[in-house]
Structure 1
């Protein structure tokens, strides 16, 4: 029976253009999805756009567009960014689609039928920028005496009729969830923050608005539209056909992994499991919250003018080097800084020198000294066996790291093998063996090709285009590139194409 794996990004809010933060989450999810596919899983990778709410309505008005026309434009821009970043999503859901509206409506109705929604009136502090309500004790007083949300967003006092979700009734169940399933919220620092917030006491959640119209109508009361977060979170269900249990995708629930930024972990780790509990639905396996990028040491913000469009980086440095940098530079889950110097350093040291040079040295010698034919395996020494054993462990070690959401550590597992290969080629010196022992030279080059095959196969999720080129040069056929195929050696004598450099060094253009 094929194992299933369901991974999601958040659905991105269409009040602004896609930036490096969106690309980061999406590339991370893409790597997990590609890895699981290569490991033999039936994968469903979901992303999309969150298109309702007051901020979208106001952004559309400012642009002189109807909300749906504005959402169409920005949603298409996110798809274009995904195409540039080579994100292999299986579905792109929009909250304005009929299937999503049906799913969100069904979720509301199920929660209401179970007695967890009631009509009241909301009075409290509301931050439009966050589309979130805040308690009095959460507000922060500024030097000028004004009070803002903990995110820095301005707040206003709001009073209006509202439907409420009985969030307070789920506090004990949520704390029990964090205690008995510690992997539900990761990393541990985020879990501790979430548990601390819940222990301070939960108030019932206002889940409808009457002051604007751009949203999904509340079932049975069209004067209200759903609170944008209830609408948005439902996408993880509506994309698999909820509430239709006969939908071919229905079996993917519960999701294995929700990848989110740390700014929205509260919604996914408190509101979402409580809503699912209230609906009598299974909970996802893990909500993983990753960190943020600063830009040259500064927080990324529109006011500073340092918001980075990932497509600009790809245009300058190339796609796979950018994908590699995003996953290599910061331990997944932490924060890190994005700088030109850091990108160029990773490209030149690890891609061009470590991996690119290793492949070029090996393949050019096969072309020159073995007639361009893959050598036979031959008789191996202890040194050969030790290197190949290290390479053979990569699928197991990397799968463990991927399942821990340690995407950076998984890359380090590969680089250990790359460094070992570079030490091996220097030790064995096949260019010298050509004169003294050509048979031994052929074995050494075959060991290096086999190790490079493992490296290239395991790096496909991170750098799909570059690794396609490497595996082609190594003589690996299209149907020999999943992880299981590594158990079957390539036949000796296979003709290899002429080698070509995969990772050229990046040289800064001289100032004119």
Structure 2
């Protein structure tokens, strides 16, 4: 039976342009999706845009645009960003689509049938920037008198009729979920934070608004539109065809992994499972939240003018260098800093020198000394078998790390092998063996080619275009690139294309 894997990004809010933080989460989800595909799983990978809510309504009005036209423009930009970053999504969901509206209303009906929704009036603190309600104990006052939420967003006192979700009734079930399934959320810091929040007591949640109209109407009461988070979270089901339980894609539910930014972890680990419990729908298996990006040590903000569009970085450094840096720089799950010097160093030292130069040296020696064909496998020494054993461990090691969302550690495992290969080629010196022992030279070059094949195969999820080029130069056919194919050696004598550099060194424009 084919293993299935369903991974999602958050759906990105369309009140602003895509930035490096959006790309970061999407690249991480893409790595997971590609890794599972190469492992033989049937994968469904979802991304998309969140297009309702008061913020969008106000932003559209400020821009002098129709609300749908405003959302259309930003949704197209987010899709373009995903395509530019080579995000291999299977579907791009938009919350203004009819299929999503049907799903959100069906989930509402299911929750209402359970008795978990009631009509009352909301009075309390609301942060427009977060589209979130906060309790009095969460509000602080700045020296200038501004009342703010824990996120720093200004809050205002709101009173309006509202439907409420009985969130307080789910406190014990949520705590039981966290205790019995500690892998439901990660990383560990977020697990402790969310568990502590729930233990402090949950208040019922306002889930409808009447003060604006840009949203999905509440079934049976069109004066109300759904709270944007009730609407948005159901996207993970609407893309699969819910409420049609027999829809072909519903076989992917429950989701294996929701990947989100840490600022929306609470919505995904408290509200979402509670909504699903009330609706009688199976819960996702894991919610993992990544950290935020600063820019040269400063918080990214429009007012500072330092918001980075990932596509400008790709234009300057190349796509795979940017994808690599995003995951390599800081252990995944923590906060990261976008520093040009660090990006240049990673590009030149680890990509151009460590890996690119290793491949170029090996393939150039094969081209010059082996007639441009892959050498046969020969008698191996202890040094040879030790290196190849390290390569053979990569699939199992990385499978465990990807499963824990230890993406940075998975990359480091590959780099340990790359460093071992560089030490091996220096020890064995095949350029010298050419004059003294050509048989041994060919064995050494074949060992290096096999090691590079393993390295490039395992790095495909991280740097798909570059590794495609490297595998092609190593003579690996398209049907020989899944992880399982590493167990079958390539036949000797296969003709290889002329070697070409895969990772150019970055040279600053002024130095050129």
SS in 1 for 2:10: coil
Aligned to 2:122: 122
Is 1:504 matched up with 2:504? yes
Is 1:135 matched up with 2:138? no
Which residues of structure 2 form unaligned runs of 5+?
none
Is 1:302 matched up with 2:285? no
SS in 2 for 1:88: coil
| Aligned-partner Cα distance in 2 for 1:94–1:144 | 39
| CA shift for structure 1 position 150 | 1.3
| Aligned-partner Cα distance in 2 for 1:147–1:484 | 57
Aligned to 1:293: 293
SS in 2 for 1:376: coil
Deviations 1:11-67 (A, max 9, x none): 000000000000000000000000000000000000000000000001111111111
Is 1:457 matched up with 2:461? no
Deviations 1:399-440 (A, max 9, x none): 110001000000001001100000000010000000110000
The residue correspondences of 1:443-454 to structure 2 (distance < 5 A) are 443-454=443-454
| CA shift for structure 1 position 510 | 2.1
| Aligned-partner Cα distance in 2 for 1:484–1:35 | 12
> What number of residue pairs does the alignment pair up?
512
| CA shift for structure 1 position 511 | 6.5
| CA shift for structure 1 position 509 | 2.1
| Aligned-partner Cα distance in 2 for 1:237–1:209 | 23
**Which 4+ residue blocks in structure 1 deviate beyond 3 angstroms?**
none
Which residues of structure 1 form unaligned runs of 5+?
none
| CA shift for structure 1 position 389 | 0.6
Aligned to 2:91: 91
Deviations 1:448-500 (A, max 9, x none): 00000000000000000000000000000011000011111000000000000
| CA shift for structure 1 position 145 | 2.4
The residue correspondences of 1:273-422 to structure 2 (distance < 5 A) are 273-422=273-422
Aligned to 1:488: 488
Deviations 1:235-264 (A, max 9, x none): 001111111111110010100000000100
Normalised TM-score (structure 1): 0.99
Is 1:104 matched up with 2:104? yes
Cα RMSD (Å) of the superposition? 0.8
| Aligned-partner Cα distance in 2 for 1:146–1:107 | 37
| Aligned-partner Cα distance in 2 for 1:51–1:271 | 19
Normalised TM-score (structure 2): 0.99
Deviations 1:72-100 (A, max 9, x none): 00000001111110000000000000100
Is 1:2 matched up with 2:9? no
Aligned to 2:217: 217
Deviations 1:163-214 (A, max 9, x none): 0000000000111111111110101110111011111110000000000000
SS in 2 for 1:119: strand
| Aligned-partner Cα distance in 1 for 2:350–2:206 | 50
SS in 2 for 1:11: strand
